[in-house]
Structure 1
Amino acid sequence: MDITKKDIDALNAVVTVEIKKEDYEGEVKKVLANYRKTANIPGFRKGHIPMGMVKKQYGQAVLVEEVNKLLQGGLQKFLTEEKLDVLGNPLPKNENEIDWKSEDFTFEFDLGMSPKFEVDVTKKAITNYKVVADDKMLDNQVKTIRKQYGKLTSKDKAEKGDEITGTFSNEEKGVEKSTTLELDELKGKSQIKALTGAKVGDVITLKTKGMFAEDHEIQKHIGLTPEDAKDVDELTFKVEEVNTREMAEMNQELFDKLFGEGVVKSEADLKSKIKEDAEKQFEQQSDQKMLNDVVESLIENTKFDLPKEFLERWIQVSSEKPMTDEEAKAEYERSEKGLRYQLIEGKLRAENNLQASFEELKEYSRGMIKAQMAQFGQMDPSDEELDNIAARIMSNQEEVQRMGEQLNTNKLLQFFKEKAKLKTKEVTYEKFIKEAYE
């Protein structure tokens, strides 16, 4: 068997595989000899069938199968040994021209070659948000906590600051949503006026437009997306409960309920603890935003060509369902951006050793186990306990894959933090959401 590669251009090549009779003849004879021993042909005893008849009945199929085995094995070995960086899989070029009645065969395959390029993570400055919990947020959090742990008292009618439990309805639009809201949450003056003084059992008609200040409140209380809510002019609200909430006192009993005995000893400590916990959560969000922005920047600023025509053919051939040329082109357009980033990320990982090793995965699993055990009060598990649980986790292929994705993302994130051109910007959470996502 002889295999050669001819470059068409930097992104396309043709591999030619020549298979001669002596390459496959021995294996074909062996298979046919076995068929002769086991085949059932009417009129002949098993094992006594003439070889000529076996060849006539099975020879062509065995030949094709053995040649294809040889072809696929040889082609894969060639790609590996030559260290060819290809996209997709080799595509047969002349399969319809093969004459299976001949003794020697020549197969041709198109290859789509991975492009050569350099990645510069410092080419464009990326904003790295440092989100801080400001005094307004801390005060609101303290207020929320005091309400949550406060005393709830039922009332006959609603007044400013009260909580009203009821059901929003609109039969025509399929709305039927039970909720609890505070009068202070409402933005619309007409809605506030309509609900002030409302009693249990009252059914009140409310305008939907302008009811809440924030879009997410529409989803929370009415069960509609902001877009769907635009098609609903009015809702009825049946009042089922009216309650006033007396806020909990700021004392040691409250602090101990929240964080454990003696951890927090004053309102200042409480705000400090809230600030610390909140900013840890904010860091995860800002990290994800930074990661997304770096990825977008790399896709935009790392220029290279792709073997477009080859990839369109490969998409068409590898599709589970029949696909027209136009559908394949459209699918390529949809997937091109993702493919570009796969190549960029792959190069970054290979050149900077950013792929998680088995030992790193094992240590990562131990850290996750320790964190989970700490939540249930097991603060100091033994190494033996950790190793036993980690071993069970590492035997689960799906769990290993999930952890590997998390760890690889963390390694890439840390790499960008160290190497990318970042400009830190300190903002409140409210401003972060506005700048980052609106």
Structure 2
Amino acid sequence: MNITQSKKGDNLISIKINVEKADYEEMVEKTLRQMRHKANVPGFRPGMVPMGMIKKMYGASAKMEALNNIVSDNLNKHIFDNKLDLLGYPLNDTELQQPTDLEKEDNIDFYFEAALRPEINVDFTNTMVDFYHIVPTDEEVDKVIEDLQQRNPNTSHPETVGEDDRLEIKIREAKNGKEVEGGYEKDGVYFNMSQIKNKTQRKKFIDKEVGSEFVVNFAKVFGSEEEAAKVLGNDAPAASDFNIIIDDAIRNEKPELNEEFFEKIFPKKDIKDLDAFKAAVKAEMEKQHEAETDPILFNKMIDELVAAVKFDLPDTFMKRWIVENSQGNITPEDVEKNYEKEYVKGLRWQLIEDSIVKANPELIIKDEEVKDFVLKQIFPGIDYASLEDDMKANLDKIAANYLKDGKQVEQLKNQLADIKMTAFLKGKMNINYTETSPADFMKKLEGDGKKKKK
């Protein structure tokens, strides 16, 4: 066995593997003995077929199998021992490889062509990306505050029923104003006053005191037996009269914009006045806009780096590699036609990204980061570090179950890698931000989309 390596061109090498008979002879003999033991040939008992016949029948295939294994193992060993940093995997060198008669030749040469990763120096100082810093308008901030008030109401329990209250009642089936012995009954029935559309029926409840007891027909109250069943339960006789007792009235009221409300929305920020609260809401909105537009900025930063970082690709080799690794799905004509448009940017960015990660190992995604990422997606806003051990153990089980799907884990790793790389590049590259409103940003985005289509 002899392996030699020579330079073939810029970032291209040729690897020659010379295999002698002594390298594979024993392996072939072992394979043939196994075949003889298993062979089922008419006229011979199992294991008694003459070796000469076995060699004639299976010699070429056994030799090919042995050569494939030896060449593959030694090619991989050569790559590992020489620390070759390759693009893809070596291909057969069609220029140097000679036709071989396996049955007649004992010493055989195998030639491979391999592409070395180019040396890449990523200099961020000369990069420049134009982008937008989205600043919400005062009207948009006020709208979000209004929404926060709606979603975080003050809850009270008034003594009398109001127009928009939620009621908790007991129901007992009744007939002629009296409860039916053994009839349908249920506690803890809830409904909103807004579900009662008929004004006459609503008046039966408005201003009633908690604890009041009276008879109603829920099919009339809610407009139909079907709507009544949604409130009472499908097993209830929705057409019947019911004696009801109002157990509770629950009223949600719009909270005042005071320190108590500020603390509820932004715990531990010690916000004292409305101006400071609006500023905090605005800052959170800006963060949200930034997170939503980061993928767009990421693509712009990739475009800038692909254009700015100069290195040569072994294009001829890469075109062959794409075709041979497509399992017949891509033809040489397809690659030739679409190479610049569909492949070059991706190849160049992959090499640049690998170079950045190699120089900055903190960008490598760790399993613990994936678990934390999953927990934040399932339980947004949770402070994992502050939880009790039992709760942490339960969350860990949920995350572990979620991460059993290997394909899903790979998608999460890619997503997390993009997030980390985006943050890294934002800290390294020169970005010229222009302030704009959310509405104007969308217009600019639509305009950019139309330009690309043209």
TM-score bucket of the superposed structures, by smaller chain: 0.5 to 0.7
Deviation per CA, 1:256-283: give whole Å up to 9, x if none. Answer: 9999799899976875565344223112
Which 10-residue stretch deviates more, 85-94 or 102-111? 85-94
The question of 1:410 aligning with 2:419 is answered: yes
Aligned to 2:375: 369
- 1:415-430 aligned within 5 A: 415-430=424-439
**C-alpha distance in 1 between matches for 2:345 and 2:129:** 20
Whichever residue aligns with residue 318 of structure 1, its letter is N
Aligned to 1:125: 128
The question of 1:352 aligning with 2:355 is answered: no
- After TM superposition, give the deviation of residue 309 of structure 1 in Å: 1.2
Of 336, 345, 369, the match for 1:337: 345
Aligned to 1:297: 304
Residue segments in structure 1 that go unaligned for 5+ positions in a row: 155-247
- After TM superposition, give the deviation of residue 145 of structure 1 in Å: 8.1
> Judging changes above 3 Å, is the alpha-carbon distance between structure 1 residues 4 and 402 closer, same or farther for their aligned structure 2 residues?
same
Of 408, 420, 426, the match for 1:399: 408
Aligned to 2:11: 11
- After TM superposition, give the deviation of residue 250 of structure 1 in Å: 5.5
**C-alpha distance in 2 between matches for 1:319 and 1:397:** 22
> Between Structure 1 and Structure 2, how many residues are aligned?
343
- After TM superposition, give the deviation of residue 409 of structure 1 in Å: 1.8
Aligned to 1:116: 119
2:10/2:314 contact within 8 Å kept? no
Aligned to 2:441: 432
**C-alpha distance in 2 between matches for 1:109 and 1:89:** 10
**C-alpha distance in 2 between matches for 1:113 and 1:276:** 48
> Judging changes above 3 Å, is the alpha-carbon distance between structure 1 residues 371 and 5 closer, same or farther for their aligned structure 2 residues?
closer
Aligned to 1:287: 294
Deviation per CA, 1:82-139: give whole Å up to 9, x if none. Answer: 1222223222125561221211110111222322231112212224533222213224
Deviation per CA, 1:318-359: give whole Å up to 9, x if none. Answer: 33336554323123222111111111111111111144353x
- After TM superposition, give the deviation of residue 15 of structure 1 in Å: 1.0
The question of 1:314 aligning with 2:321 is answered: yes
Bigger Cα Rg: 2
1:87/1:113 contact within 8 Å kept? yes
The question of 1:136 aligning with 2:139 is answered: yes
2:357/2:364 contact within 8 Å kept? no
Which 10-residue stretch deviates more, 420-429 or 52-61? 420-429
Aligned to 2:232: none
TM-score, with normalisation over the residues of structure 1?
Answer: 0.67
Residue segments in structure 2 that go unaligned for 5+ positions in a row: 154-162, 165-193, 198-251, 448-454
> Judging changes above 3 Å, is the alpha-carbon distance between structure 1 residues 146 and 350 closer, same or farther for their aligned structure 2 residues?
closer
Aligned to 2:181: none
Aligned to 1:196: none
Deviation per CA, 1:10-49: give whole Å up to 9, x if none. Answer: 2222111100000000111111111111111100011111
**C-alpha distance in 1 between matches for 2:442 and 2:59:** 70
- After TM superposition, give the deviation of residue 4 of structure 1 in Å: 1.1
Whichever residue aligns with residue 369 of structure 1, its letter is L
- 1:77-156 aligned within 5 A: 77-94=77-94, 97-101=99-103, 102-127=105-130, 129-141=132-144
